[in-house]
A and B are shown apart, each in its own frame.
Chain A
Amino acid sequence: MKRKKLFLYCVILLMTITVHIPKTNCDDNVNGEWLFNYSMEELMNLTVKTGNLTGLSLSKTPISVTTITSEDIAVTPVRNIYDLIEVYVPGAIYLNHYDSPHLGVRGIIVDRNYKYLLLVNGRNMNLKAHNGATSELELWDLDDIEKIEIIRGPGSVTYGPGAVAGIINITTKNSSSETGIKIKSNYCYPYKSEGISAGISHEINNNYLFVYGSIQKTNGYSNPKVYAPQGYNRFNYMGFDSTIDLKPIDYFYDYNGLPQLKFNVDYSFSDTWNLTLRYTRQGAALNPNFGKPRPQVGSDSLGGILLGDPFNLIQNQDQHITLTMKNESSFENLFDLSSMINLSSEDYIRRTEWFQIFPKSIVKSMDTMLMFQDINGLWTHNYDFSESSILGHFIFNKNFSNKFKMAIGTEMSLNHWGPGWGKDRRNLRLGDNGDIISGTDSYVYGSKISVTGVPEGEGYFVGDGWSTFSYSFLFELMWEPVTDLSFLLSARSDKDSYSQLLFSPRASLIYQIEENNILKLVIQKSQRMNTAGQLLIQHMTGKQTDPETLTGLELIYSGLVSENLMINSSFFYNKLEVISWYNIGRTTRPTGDLSLFGLELEGKFQSDKLEIALNQSYVKQLNWKLADSVYFSGISYSDYQLELNNMFFNSSGNDLSNWSNFVTKFIINYKLFDENLILHLDSRIFWNFEGEKEGMKSFENAMDPANQDYKLMQEILNTVRATDMYGTDFRVNISIGYIIYDHFKITASAMNLLGYGGNKRYFYDSGIRKDVNYIRHGFIEEPLTLALKLDIIY
């Protein structure tokens, strides 16, 4: 049946392509000779056919890319870049998780964002020590962004190690794109989020300056509807059961109540130089799974525990400052050189989910108890460190002729990990087990009481921190042997002091069938470097393991069907050798081999006033095979073997966990009254999470009437089914923007307008929660959201 369905899709795809090719042949006809007979006035009065004019164009770059422009950002009701990606990128989704939200593109979603690469103005912004793509993504304010390009699929070959699943490439506004002064303010209900931003562009003696800043304060959405496990036999909507003393978090509440900040200075001078200083601070309560725990504030006279008010404990905060100097130079008839020197420092804190609570018989001193529960102390911080680097990036371009071009480049980086900004070495803490610390002087070393400390005799000691040196070489060759056919051969090699040599090659063939039809075939291998924390421990213990590798094949067709209509289709096959951290062995190890394929279809119609974009994504797992000695994972339940409380949970189905195989997205923009009024609607539909439903089937199959937990499991299953968990989720967002007297713009928007399926935002399912209970699943029902923005432009 499934093969039949696939066959049908392929037939339709072929039909679409075949139908369109002759049509575009007609468009290739040039018949504008008559224009030369017209006078200047007559030419100026002709109506221009829109299409390419307004942005529809075909790219010859061998990647599948979604570009979100500043105009898109202005009209789309979103809370951050994650929302934006989910609205615009075919198939993309994000789930909440312990660290932060996690992004999924083309079926690849794991419990960290380290398979994605984040770039801001060409600079790699990933947090190498732990989470990968982190900064920028949770910021509410997006008004300083010129465009975001999301490359779907691997791109390590061009952009750097880490880009095995996708790239988020942010370009910020600068003095060339901005003029005058802009002041913007916003309010969003029910998140109680308010912000203001200002940008000014100025020219000084042919040099250009752009300064931008914003502040956004969010108190969060109180008492959200959260379905989550709350203990071994407790599950239901959090806060709705009076017998359970756990309130849900204030969703999106700022880290410790500190507002988000953004500051950017861009200065272009002497024609070829550009200097950018950028600072961002983000942090929000985005993992509703654990609720708001209550700290212990003392003991009663009988030694019992006195609890304080519930607190948004599980949060992380990221601050990132970068200073970048860029230059583009041409050396007479020899080559072009683009250079970048960058200084960067990032401060990261991730707090734990529970307060540690002790009766007086165990912790007698109140000071010790308060120390364990200090929200700004290391006992509640699983991660607390800074990551700094000095980076040099140089690319030489040489065009031997129009048919033969070459680029070579290098990137060098001196990296350092140390205590968080302004903190002493005893506060340093990171690593997958939280055991990379300064030494025996660490605040969390050696306690026999707290479970969050590093036990005596354990830990990896780094003193004030440690440094490594990374270097990369890049190469690209373009050869066009005949008109309209070009070959592109690219390769990148990366090495860190503690890593193996990584190699990511790509070969692509680009064939321009006609002026308006392009076919691209890409084959590539993309490798991901382990995190800096993992590499350090492996170095200290004398272990070295292979990097994660993705091998991919992709066929892309792009066509301009008419002046107003563009279609894109992409068929891809990926094989991923998954690597993850093994707690017991203190090393990375193979988790399994995943193979999948997918199809993405996009259509975009654009006229003077109307823009309609529609895309459909289908991703299907072909096979998932666990590695030796690995019994479960968050990748799929199709290879799964777990024994829990004398019951056996076995494999089920052949689909990806945490993934909706079918995803449909739809965007409409309509402009009225000389483009002064803009209406926007976007919608996304996740058509069932097949892999998760198979996980529930595995759960059901394991239920044994003879087992003491049978009734409990039955109750869990019934409750889960009553919530329509992993059913179809259909969201609709709208906005209306109106420009008054050219200088004022007011935008009103609503998110989750219909909410068929409850607007569920699921938690990442890692395949097991045996430490808590049987329930692996949970979600928050995101509320109807109303927002108002006012822009003043001069």
Chain B
Amino acid sequence: MGKRFLYSFYLLILIFSYNIHAGELADEYELKAAFLERFARFIEWQPESWSEDNKDFFEIVILGDNPFGKKLDKLYSTQKIKNMTVKIRYTKSIDEIGNCQILFICPSMSDRINQIIKKVSKKNILTIGQTKGFCEKGVHINFYISSSKLKFQINDKAARNSNLQISYLLLQNATIINSVGGENE
């Protein structure tokens, strides 16, 4: 009986492996990657956001355990943001955030989110996350999934504190979080 059960288990795995196809859907992280470019269209950074060293690049830093795999590198190998070549940098150290335009904070950094916000909140860096509660803690944009659609929250107050101007065209598509604990549609 045990052997039969084991074989059925394998059969089940093999059936699943061959029969699940993605269909015409968007991959979660490819979609998030595309959103980064789309956000940039509606946000104004200050000129001093670009230092001498990186004035020709639009720099995205992925902080923590990278969930994108190689998707960001491949998609932005040709795609530009604000007509600039995109440079992707990966790090797990808060000290290595440095100068950039977008900081994507991975879920693995959730234990240190207060420390990260403290470090970058006064800099002209757009922070983006995908973890529940991040926006309330001061992250500017936070992805979430609802009914299989990718949606996002915006903490406009925190963005203004970082000297970032977010267009109302973007704000009207988001759930606005103005302060800790206060949520307005």
Q: Which residues of A contact B (CB under 8 A)?
A: 5, 9, 12, 16, 19-20, 23, 28, 30-33, 35-36, 38, 40-41, 43-53, 57, 176-177, 179, 203, 206, 268, 271-272, 328, 330, 332-333, 336, 399, 402, 515, 561-565, 567, 601, 603, 605, 608, 614, 616, 662, 664, 674, 685, 687-688, 728
B5 located at the interface, meaning its Cβ lies under 8 Å from any Cβ of chain A in the complex: yes
B173 located at the interface, meaning its Cβ lies under 8 Å from any Cβ of chain A in the complex: yes
| CB neighbours of A44 from chain B (8 A) | 149-151, 173
Q: Which residue of chain B lies nearest to A5 when distances are taken between CB atoms in the complex?
A: B3
A15 to chain B, nearest CB (A): 8
A285 to B69, alpha carbons, bound, how many Å?
A: 51
B3 and A562 within 8 A (CB) = no
A36 and B95 within 8 A (CB) = no
A32 and B12 within 8 A (CB) = no
Q: Which residue of chain A lies nearest to B13 when distances are taken between CB atoms in the complex?
A: A603
24 interchain pairs (CB within 8 A)? A16-B13, A16-B14, A28-B70, A35-B33, A36-B37, A38-B34, A40-B38, A46-B149, A48-B148, A49-B25, A49-B27, A51-B28, A53-B28, A176-B133, A271-B115, A402-B90, A515-B70, A561-B16, A562-B22, A603-B12, A603-B16, A614-B9, A614-B13, A616-B5
A46 and B17 within 8 A (CB) = no
Interface of A is mostly: mixed
Partner of B27, one of A32, A38, A601: A32
A32 and B33 within 8 A (CB) = yes
Query: Assuming the A-B contacts A44-B173, A603-B13, A603-B16, are A52 and B111 also in contact, with contact meaning beta carbons closer than 8 angstroms in the complex?
Result: no
A52 to B180, alpha carbons, bound, how many Å?
A: 29
A344 to chain B, nearest CB (A): 22
Query: Assuming the A-B contacts A16-B14, A30-B75, A32-B31, are A563 and B22 also in contact, with contact meaning beta carbons closer than 8 angstroms in the complex?
Result: yes
Query: Assuming the A-B contacts A43-B35, A52-B29, A664-B5, are A328 and B111 also in contact, with contact meaning beta carbons closer than 8 angstroms in the complex?
Result: yes
Query: Assuming the A-B contacts A176-B133, A399-B93, are A48 and B26 also in contact, with contact meaning beta carbons closer than 8 angstroms in the complex?
Result: yes
| CB neighbours of B47 from chain A (8 A) | none
A662 and B133 within 8 A (CB) = no
- Which of chain B's residues 67-91 have a Cβ closer than 8 Å to chain A? 67, 69-71, 74-75, 78-79, 90-91
A44 to B118, alpha carbons, bound, how many Å?
A: 31
A562 to B15, alpha carbons, bound, how many Å?
A: 12
Query: Assuming the A-B contacts A35-B26, A561-B17, A614-B12, are A685 and B5 also in contact, with contact meaning beta carbons closer than 8 angstroms in the complex?
Result: yes
A409 to chain B, nearest CB (A): 17
Q: Which residue of chain A lies nearest to B71 when distances are taken between CB atoms in the complex?
A: A30
Interface size class of B (residues with CB under 8 A): 35 or more
A57 to chain B, nearest CB (A): 8
A71 to chain B, nearest CB (A): 13
A33 and B150 within 8 A (CB) = no
Partner of B31, one of A48, A674, A687: A48
B8 to chain A, nearest CB (A): 9
Q: Which residue of chain B lies nearest to A660 when distances are taken between CB atoms in the complex?
A: B2
| CB neighbours of B7 from chain A (8 A) | 12
Enumerate the 10 nearest inter-chain pairs by beta-carbon distance, A residue then B residue, closest first.
A32-B30, A35-B34, A271-B114, A30-B74, A46-B26, A687-B2, A49-B25, A562-B20, A561-B17, A662-B2
B27 and A12 within 8 A (CB) = no
Q: Which residue of chain B lies nearest to A33 when distances are taken between CB atoms in the complex?
A: B75
List 18 extra interface pairs beyond A47-B148, A662-B2, CB under 8 A.
A5-B3, A36-B37, A46-B149, A48-B149, A50-B145, A57-B67, A176-B113, A203-B181, A271-B115, A271-B117, A272-B114, A330-B94, A515-B70, A563-B20, A563-B27, A565-B17, A605-B16, A664-B5
A520 to chain B, nearest CB (A): 16
B168 located at the interface, meaning its Cβ lies under 8 Å from any Cβ of chain A in the complex: no
Partner of A48, one of B3, B20, B28, B74: B28
B60 to chain A, nearest CB (A): 15
A35 and B30 within 8 A (CB) = yes
Partner of A616, one of B9, B20, B22, B149: B9
A23 and B181 within 8 A (CB) = no
Q: Which residue of chain A lies nearest to B118 when distances are taken between CB atoms in the complex?
A: A271
A129 to B119, alpha carbons, bound, how many Å?
A: 45
| CB neighbours of B91 from chain A (8 A) | 402
Q: Which residue of chain B lies nearest to A516 when distances are taken between CB atoms in the complex?
A: B69
- Write the B95-118 contact mask toward A (1 if CB under 8 angstroms, else 0): 110000000000000111111011
A567 to B110, alpha carbons, bound, how many Å?
A: 27
Partner of B79, one of A36, A40, A43, A272: A36
B147 located at the interface, meaning its Cβ lies under 8 Å from any Cβ of chain A in the complex: yes
Q: Which residue of chain A lies nearest to B150 when distances are taken between CB atoms in the complex?
A: A48
A35 to B79, alpha carbons, bound, how many Å?
A: 11
B94 to chain A, nearest CB (A): 5
Q: Which residue of chain A lies nearest to B34 when distances are taken between CB atoms in the complex?
A: A35
Q: Which residue of chain A lies nearest to B130 when distances are taken between CB atoms in the complex?
A: A53
A413 to B31, alpha carbons, bound, how many Å?
A: 50
A12 and B145 within 8 A (CB) = no
- Write the B17-49 contact mask toward A (1 if CB under 8 angstroms, else 0): 110111001111111011101100000000000
- Write the B154-184 contact mask toward A (1 if CB under 8 angstroms, else 0): 0000000000000001100100000011000
B92 located at the interface, meaning its Cβ lies under 8 Å from any Cβ of chain A in the complex: yes
Partner of A567, one of B3, B13, B117, B145: B13
A162 to chain B, nearest CB (A): 25
| CB neighbours of B96 from chain A (8 A) | 333, 399
| CB neighbours of A601 from chain B (8 A) | 9-10
A50 and B71 within 8 A (CB) = no
